Copies of this chain bind each other. A is one copy, B any other.
């Protein structure tokens, strides 16, 4: 299918259902500033989290095919929903290049961090219902107890910029009360929007609980993988991400600023 030869200079392809995956772009830029990034945000069909598995799998295939046009050396699935329900489709569509998902990366890092073997996971309804974090964690260590909680209002709160609003804190308290008495020592932010709310989440939970940001986890994993395969981009220049979106609402510009802490570069509109 795809016999294009990839080189260290080839881009890293990243996709998400919308803007959330920009936290992954940011995490990659922080530790791999020379890497060229192609980011596709499926803003016309966001959110995936509330859709059925059949629909999510079809979208995952479309998204991968769009990135493959740019001959990436690696694909990062920045969408927890797709990581949970459709990673096999992404692998099938992308041929022989490596594919990593935020979900396994987050699970792996959480397992390596949890001394007490009790991990909490928060995410969208679909991610939590799929039970995929618990599966991924228990595949690595069957003795770990996993407690999950869906937090459907966190994405709209993040997008509204209510990152430290009293109402957001009340909602966080209500959601995170789930972990009272569970004695977790590690909490996975199982949705790429949640790093935006990290400060507020930290204030709400027991200070002894370590927070795992799956965007950071996947960036670390990508670095290791590129290093091991001799595919790190050794350029000393800093690359600007190439942005693709399936729809460009006004809001995207504001959200880009909120997620990336920078002004939005040019963006290309893609038909899905």
Residues of A whose CB lies within 8 Å of any CB of B are 43-46, 50-52, 55, 125-126, 129, 152-153, 155-157, 159-160, 162, 165-168, 170-171, 174, 247-251
Contact = CB atoms under 8 A, between A and B. Distances in A.
13 contacts: A44-B45, A44-B51, A46-B50, A52-B247, A52-B248, A126-B249, A153-B156, A153-B157, A155-B156, A156-B156, A162-B171, A165-B171, A167-B170
Q: Which 4 A-B pairs have the closest CB atoms?
A: A167-B170, A156-B156, A167-B167, A167-B171
Contacts of A171: 162, 165, 167
Nearest to A255: B50
A251 B167 contact: no
Given A166-B170, A170-B170, 14 more contacts: A43-B51, A44-B51, A44-B55, A50-B249, A51-B247, A52-B248, A55-B247, A129-B250, A152-B159, A152-B160, A153-B156, A153-B160, A153-B162, A167-B174
Identical copies in the complex: 2
A82 B170 CA distance: 34
A126 B251 CA distance: 10
Contacts of A44: 45, 51, 55
A248 B155 CA distance: 21
Nearest to A50: B249
A155 B46 CA distance: 15
